[in-house]
Structure 1
Amino acid sequence: MNKYFLSQPEHIQKRIKLITWIVFGLSIVVFYTTSENNNLTVLNSILSLLILGTFILGILMHNWTKKRDNPVEESSSDIGFLTQDIDYKEEFPIYLQGCILKWAYNVNLAFPQNFSAIQVGESENLTLDEELDNEYDPEAVQVFKGDKLLGYLYKGNIKDMVKKYFFKQKGYKPAMIVNKVDEENERIEISLAFYKEIDLETNPAVIKIKTSINNSYDREERDTRIDALEDLEVNDLLTVEEDFEYGYLLYTKDYREVGRLSESVEEKIDEFMSSNQGYVFCLVSSVKLDEEGNIKIRINVYLVKKF
């Protein structure tokens, strides 16, 4: 009902509220003038329901429009919750320091603290640690920013996964980003990623394609792409995104377009994805200048089956 009411023009909303309160007032007047007449018990029952219904509806409409007319003011302490439109869980790269992304979650911390030590989007010096001498929970897992304790992981599946993959098994590494900070309401949310180590040269789940970056399209934007190419270094990660017009385009970590893949490589990617669930990404293998001073980038395209 509130969606329908708020979808009406403001003058219609005011008219509906006015009519509701008029009906409420008239119902009270009529009810009290007829309440002692035993012959009008049915009418009085209807009036009592009408009084109750219009009163509740009037209060609801007042609250709906109050929220619209008086939006919550932003502050530095809760700006992460009120204005942030980025979910950092979706920002983890597919490949990071010899590891492939397996899972990513947003995690609220228990007993959050040291709010001033962090900002939304931070990822440096965030660590996990066991607190084995915790008298209340010997399985406790702490989250730190440097030497500042930010809070604890709640009991549940995420904490169990952290204990299993980061403290008991080898071959997994965590990555974290501060997703939300709200000191007023005592909330800190961390985006937590689970990465698994992978050898891209020997793992049977990996297909490697050696190729170069194609820049012979969309001449108007070519100079912009060349500028982005000139900032590339060996082992830089490039993400692959399909474009309706130009095929598979390549982007840097800061989302600068650098070129596209050849049609032959695109066909191999399509064939791979049609029969497998997995990942596609590129790493820069060499950066050179030709005799005319033009930059030449060689890349390795990796097709990785989920494992």
Structure 2
Amino acid sequence: MGKSLQSTACAVSAIVTIPPLGIFLIYKYPKWSVPVRITITIIAAIWSIFWAVIMVFGFPFIDLLFFLLFAFIVFLVNSRSTKSDPSPIEDKPYFDKENQHLNVPARYGGNELAYHYENVDVAGAKYRNQTVDESLLGKEISFLPEPENEHDSSALKIMCGSAMLGYVHKGKIRDMIFDWKKRNNMIFSVVSQIDTENKSIKYFIAFYKPIDVSAILDACKEELKDSNNEYSDDEGTL
């Protein structure tokens, strides 16, 4: 009689406890993927079958053993499925060649966008010997001074890797590049347009500067001061 009661108790605990536990875990952790949910459901369903075996053989500890095994499996699955998502990649400047989209965030790496210019002509591109093709589109470019240039000691070469594309035209943009490089501020530039027939190349350039934290704090102080003054005026009218 005692054996029968033990078997019945094991069977009831297996039926009542395990399947609802599996369902509860599915809804408790909604980030779980569909395969994980299906796996838990199957495990819970299979577990409910053990009550028949337990009832027949009457092993009082097998119920606890399988429950611990199930809990351990759930722990392993949960530790993999509910890990905190990796920190999002910081939005940075890039050119999406497939969608022909240029991504230039207002802030990047402690810097803020100061100026940007689109489709600036590369000087002397058609006189270069290299082949101008679509593979250049979206590639990042850099600017290298050429003080030994016999025509212009302030010449600024436009480089794409080790290949020279041409020069920066004289004027505002070239002066800004020198100024930015002197201050070691960030410049982002990519090839934005290619004309293979005319061997014409255009580029996009963005100038970033360090975020002025002191200016932000001063603005916040002024705003707080104005708010306090308004509050004082309101009290005086009461």
Which TM class, normalised by the smaller chain length?
Answer: 0.3 to 0.5
Higher percent of residues as helix: 2
Higher percent of residues as strand: 1
Scaled by the length of structure 1, what TM-score is found? 0.35
Scaled by the length of structure 2, what TM-score is found? 0.44
Greater gyration radius: 2
